[in-house]
Amino acid sequence: MKWTADPALMRDPVHLVAFGFGSGLSPWAPGTFGTLIAIPITIFVMQFGFAAHLGFAIFATLFGIYVCGESARRLGVHDHPGIVWDEITGFAVTMLTVPANVYWVLAGFALFRLFDIWKPWPIREADHSLPGGLGIMLDDVIAGIFAAAILLGVRHIL
């Protein structure tokens, strides 16, 4: 199936969430736009403390396995480019180790996008070898863990 940016998809609640409330409709770099929409969502959640942030990251992952898998099934495309809930979740995971200030947010954004695009091992394995929503979500969660680990290391050095 050819990538489509059909706004009519947003009438379906599954696609609305999977496509990051419309951010995945971008004709170029939908993953980057999905990560951009993740910034205010994650900063909002972070104000309620670490436990709420961790709870959101876990919920977003489990919910994402369903919603991304169902969206992909309905579209007939595994990991359609417009599905960006996985980027929203991956960024939430990235930010688990740092406070919500502009420097950490920018560093988290850059590191998460780097790992999500580059896909070093085992991120690439998760992306290619797991079916359905689990495969769609797990590569971004692992990219988020990698980015979070680097941010934590830098935070301890500073």
Helix, strand, coil shares of the chain, percent, nearest 5, are: 80, 0, 20
Which tokens go with 111? 């590191």
Global confidence as pTM: 0.95
Q: What is residue 78's predicted lDDT score, i.e. its pLDDT? A: 85
Q: What is residue 51's predicted lDDT score, i.e. its pLDDT? A: 98
Q: What is residue 129's predicted lDDT score, i.e. its pLDDT? A: 87
Which tokens go with 70? 């169902």
126 and 65 Cβ atoms separated by less than 8 Å:
no
Determine if the peptide bond prior to 27 is cis (ω within 30°). Answer: no
Q: What is residue 4's predicted lDDT score, i.e. its pLDDT? A: 55
Q: What is the pLDDT along the chain (158 residues), one digit of tens a residue?
A: 445 567 888 999 999 999 999 999 999 999 999 999 999 999 999 999 999 999 999 999 999 999 999 999 999 998 899 999 999 999 999 999 999 999 999 999 999 999 999 999 999 888 788 999 999 999 999 999 999 999 999 999 99
Q: What is residue 2's predicted lDDT score, i.e. its pLDDT? A: 47
10 and 23 Cβ atoms separated by less than 8 Å:
no
Burial annotation 124-157 (CB, 10 A radius, 16+ → b, else e) = eebbeeeebbbbbbbbbbbbbbbbbebbeeeeee
